[in-house]
Amino acid sequence: MRIRSASTRLLYMAATLCSAALTAGCASNHAPAAHDGPPLSAAPAEATPQLKNVMAAHFKVGAAIEPDSIENPADTALLAAQFSSLTAENKMKPGTIGVAEGQYNFGPADQIIAVAQAHGIAVRGHTLAWHYHAGDWTEAPAWFFAGDPQDPHYHDLVAARLRRYVTDVVTHFRGKVYAWDVVNEVISDDPHQVYREDSPWYRALGRDYIAIAFRAARAADLDVKLYINEYSTDDSVKRAKLLSVVRELRAAGVPIDGVGHQMHISVNWPPIANLKQAFDDVAAMGLENQVTELDMSLYNDSGACWSDPHACLPDLGNPVPNDVMRAQALRYRAVFDLFDHEPSIKAVTFWGYSDKHTWLTSTPAPRNNLPLLFDANLRPKAAFWAIVDPAYQP
């Protein structure tokens, strides 16, 4: 919903900005009202640097895209200039590719691959197994699970389907992608569970599906990097569960190269120290890190927002207050400073590339949200300049 009064808007800004020092948040719900602040500083009078070159000594810089992202020449030019890696946001997932057993729709993904190759951009594969289902949208197509779960052969039947799917898909893209998110979001948010037990994969195969997918992927491509991808890895409890799963898999000889950290963060959460600990814990296991779905919401919503839109913070309106965008720029600078000092990070991928292409304008609630480095007109924002130019003060 839209903020209906200036006083409400200012109170919201106070709640958003009180942790500009990147702490956990306000100690009081009655913080003094914040003001909009001065306009953001103008962009430096220089040619726009290429982010991929600025970060080339550290890691690849990526963007998640859809095929329509590369239909506009201006968008393609931005992607080619700024990014060294691309991820198919949805078109390499089972819901698109897995039409039926042994039948595949590679067309949309191949389109993205072709553009990437034409511009010398690397590609990440995302993802081979995911539980997601909402309405007509499913990333775990029903044909994988056809049959009678009481049949003593059911486990082997579903396992064979998964193994064939992973083998065929990874083989199709062999030599065209440098990394795969083999499984996505396998860890439960329930404190009493380790695995996401409501996943159709878990219901059919138990935890075995994770090892099956990794082993099939490695057999199909000996060189591609294989990742387990998860959100909220900054949360110590969830991360402990994730790393316990990784340890068990590696002890069983399952080939895992690294952990993907989605990193859907906000302008003031989580603390930088939490992010650093997540990377360090993975690196201590001898594994690589990748940031796979980075964006920075302007809203620090409670967890209830994701199940009840009425629990989400109100819309900041348009234009967004200057101090909110300034806080975002400084936060991006701090986050990238952390990335720069973590040698185990091999790639940082944004979940989108400009504010005109972001899931956060509709999820978890419809409202104005500007989470990326380029605005809806493809112009670099203060957040971009804060990353590439240490002297820039937004």
Give the up-direction half-sphere exposure of residue 91: CA atoms within 13 A in the CB hemisphere. Answer: 20
101 is catalytic: no
CB 229: neighbour CB atoms within 10 A?
A: 24
3-state secondary structure the chain: CECCCHHHHHHHHHHHHCCCCCCCCCCCCCCCCCCCCCCCCCCCCCCCCCHHHHCCCCCEEEEEECHHHHCCHHHHHHHHHHCCEEEECCCCCHHHHEEECCEECCHHHHHHHHHHHHCCCEEEEEEEEECCEECCEECCCHHHHCCCCCCCCHHHHHHHHHHHHHHHHHHHCCCCCCEEEEEECCECCCCCCCECCCCHHHHHHCCHHHHHHHHHHHHHCCCCEEEEEECCCCCHHHHHHHHHHHHHHHHCCCCCCEEEECCEEECCECCHHHHHHHHHHHHCCCCEEEEEEEEEECCCCCHHHHCCHHHCCCECCCCCCHHHHHHHHHHHHHHHHHHHCCCCEEEEEECCCCCCCCHHHCCCCCCCCCCCCECCCCCECHHHHHHHCCCCCC
| Residues in the chain, overall count | 394
User: Which residues is 229 bridged to in the sheet?
Assistant: 184, 260
Q: Point out the catalytic residue in the list 89, 139, 288, 293.
A: 293
Distance CA 76, CA 2 (A): 33
| Tokens of residue 267, six digits | 């302008």
- Among residues 185, 230, 288, 342, the one annotated as catalytic is 185
In the residue annotation, 89 being an active-site residue is answered as no
- Closest Cα partner for 165 from 220, 86, 211? 220
Residue type at position 84: S
- Catalytic residue numbers, as ranges: 185, 293
